[in-house]
């Protein structure tokens, strides 16, 4: 069954589902328990059955566990899946300790990813983030070499600046930009999104619910051991003020007969034909709700209400997306 819209990655790139499956939460990233593997694989299979062919992972998710998991899931369904892999982030004991974007490291990373995934070619390969440790041209040039070798099909980038995006695209055509984007995180609308649109680059938008802020399920204060306590958006008066904004989303969801999560996804989807909501799931039970969100539409008044309530600067406090 496939009634999902599609989008093209770049001017001359492939056509993929306009809803992407983020597989990160199928592995232990921050030292927590690993979700049930059989259910995770069943979720990938169900997503493919419903026409969601864009599978997003990183070679550092669960120290390779995520790639191994996807490899098992697509072993007999390689042609159904479009596999996007991020590289470059280095973790130790569940903690991020830096980036390694040297060409020699990238060439090492890609071979390990291909082996874990059990495939010959990665569909979309992208640095997870860029810093100033290695020139953009060297990073992108290395991926371009891998494309020539047949180990990678398309170049992606993630969490970069407009200047870096232009630099990367000048070296080799960028098919997709992966970036955090939601009603609560709209800072990229000023420059990064227009740059991507100008260059014809598709946008893969993650964190659609802003780390759970837009789910409608949070109450203040958060538990003391909640990792979001590290971000001022989720503490003190900031959280109280932000949840008052979320009440507007909850009220609209009740009026439209859907959930706040669905509205958050639908809003991202409505921002352009070139923008893909990337939704993390590890359970099949979430698929119907998230797929249905892609069919939701907004009246001009509803869109104005959301854009006014969640205008840039209206959500108080910082988040990990603001670096």
Residue 14: its pLDDT value, please?
95
Reported pTM: 0.95
Cα–Cα distance between 289 and 180 in angstroms, integer? 21
pLDDT in tens, 167-197: 999 999 999 999 999 999 999 999 999 999 9
ω into 221 cis (within 30 of 0):
yes
Active site residue 320: no
The answer to whether position 15 is within a domain reads yes
The answer to whether position 315 is within a domain reads no
Residue 205 has pLDDT above 90, yes or no: yes
Residue 31: its pLDDT value, please?
67
3-state secondary structure of 120: coil
| Domain range for 192 | 6-215+258-296
Q: How far is CA 212 from each of CA 18, 183, 207, rounded to the nearest angstrom?
A: 22, 12, 8
The answer to whether position 309 is within a domain reads no
The answer to whether position 179 is within a domain reads yes
Residue 320 has pLDDT above 90, yes or no: no
The answer to whether position 282 is within a domain reads yes
The answer to whether position 25 is within a domain reads yes
Structural domain count of the chain: 1
The answer to whether position 125 is within a domain reads yes
Catalytic residue among 61, 125, 227, 320: 61
* CATH code for the domain in which residue 55 is found: 3.20.20.100
Residue 310 has pLDDT above 90, yes or no: yes
Buried-exposed string 214-227: b where 16+ CB fall within 10 A, e elsewhere: bbbebeeeeeeeee
Higher pLDDT, 304 or 33: 304
Cα–Cα distance between 126 and 58 in angstroms, integer? 9
C-alpha 24 chain-centroid distance: 9
Residue 250 has pLDDT above 90, yes or no: yes
pLDDT in tens, 97-156: 999 999 999 999 999 999 999 999 999 999 999 988 999 999 999 999 999 999 999 999
């Amino acid at each position: 069954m496939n009634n999902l819209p599609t989008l093209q990655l770049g001017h001359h790139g492939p056509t993929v589902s306009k809803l992407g499956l983020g597989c990160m939460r199928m592995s232990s990233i921050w030292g927590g328990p690993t979700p049930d593997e059989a259910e995770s694989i069943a979720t990938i299979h169900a997503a493919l059955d419903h026409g969601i062919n864009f599978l997003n992972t990183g070679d550092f998710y669960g120290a390779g566990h995520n790639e191994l998991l996807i490899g098992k899931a697509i072993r007999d369904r390689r042609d159904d899946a479009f596999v996007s892999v991020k590289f470059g982030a280095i973790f130790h004991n569940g903690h991020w300790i830096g980036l390694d974007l040297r060409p020699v490291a990238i060439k090492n990373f890609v071979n390990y990813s291909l082996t874990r995934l059990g495939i010959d070619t990665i569909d979309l390969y992208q640095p997870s983030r860029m810093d100033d440790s290695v020139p953009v041209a060297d990073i992108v040039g290395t991926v371009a070499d891998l494309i020539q070798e047949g180990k990678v099909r398309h170049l992606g980038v993630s969490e970069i600046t407009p200047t870096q995006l232009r630099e990367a695209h000048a070296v080799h055509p960028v098919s997709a930009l992966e970036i955090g984007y939601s009603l609560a995180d709209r800072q990229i609308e000023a420059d990064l999104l227009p740059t991507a649109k100008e260059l014809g680059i598709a946008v893969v938008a993650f964190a659609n619910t802003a780390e759970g802020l837009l789910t409608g399920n949070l109450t203040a204060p958060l538990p003391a051991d909640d990792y979001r306590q590290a971000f001022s958006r989720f503490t003190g008066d900031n959280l109280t003020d932000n949840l008052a904004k979320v009440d507007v989303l909850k009220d609209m969801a009740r009026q439209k007969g859907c959930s706040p999560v669905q509205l958050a996804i639908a809003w991202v989807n409505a921002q352009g034909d070139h923008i893909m909501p990337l939704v993390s799931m590890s359970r099949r039970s979430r698929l119907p709700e998230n797929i249905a969100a892609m069919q939701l539409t907004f009246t001009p008044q509803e869109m104005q209400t959301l854009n006014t309530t969640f205008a840039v600067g209206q959500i108080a406090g910082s988040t990990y997306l603001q670096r």
